[in-house]
Amino acid sequence: MIHTLTRLPHWLDRQDWLLSTLARLLFAAVLFRYFWASALTKLGDGPLGLFPPSTGAYAQIFPRQLEAVGYDASQLGLFAHLVVFGGTVAEFVLPVLLILGLATRPAALAMVGFVVVQSLTDLFGHGGLAHAATLGGWFDRAPDGVILDQRAFWVFALIVLIVKGAGPLSLDRLVRNALSARQVAPPPAPAAHPAPQNQSGTS
């Protein structure tokens, strides 16, 4: 029993895959449908709902700017259109990549940036900074602040994926194994050529 307990920390040190797998599982269970539901609200009536996105997409990302132009998104500049389009696509694509474990590290890094921009928009665009409960605070007794409490855990799970990768149950692992197998495969043997025959003529 004591021997098992003393070996347990060494065994746990070798289980890096467990952190990655749990981080992706928690993302799927807690955040995947949240981000997809948010992305669906950004779809407009055009092709694929992206050309252009809905007015609600602009209201979510640029609330004050949209209000200033009378909620006519066509009056916003090119930068706003590119940001809304990119944000809508990212909100669909990045969660799927994390679930599949494909391009996990760059997808998780981009997702961290997405959460940061989302939080800043909530604070400064939607007036959340005026509500202490929205911002929350660290080292206090309340664990339910939206920004500094809840989204800190979101970012932590994403940082685990940035540092550790997707783990064994992922497309990243399949791609890496396929590339490794191709690199270690022996080169094909050269084709055998028949030995030249001496042709001698008699006169």
Answer whether residue 73 shows pLDDT above 70.
Answer: yes
Confidence of residue 203 (pLDDT cuts 50, 70, 90): very low
Average pLDDT over residues 153-169: 95
Q: In which residue are the tokens 């809905």 written?
A: 54
In this structure, the number of other CB atoms found within 10 A of the CB of residue 155 comes to 16
Question: Taking 60 as the threshold, does the pLDDT of residue 7 lie above it?
Answer: yes
Distance CA 99, CA 166 (A): 9
- Identify the pLDDT of residue 96: 97
Asked if residues 22 and 169 have their Cβ atoms less than 8 Å apart, the reply is: no
* E-state strands within 68-132: none
pLDDT at 114 over 90: yes
| H/E stretch holding 82 | helix 78-100
Task: Flag whether pLDDT at 72 surpasses 60.
Answer: yes
This prediction has a pTM of 0.81
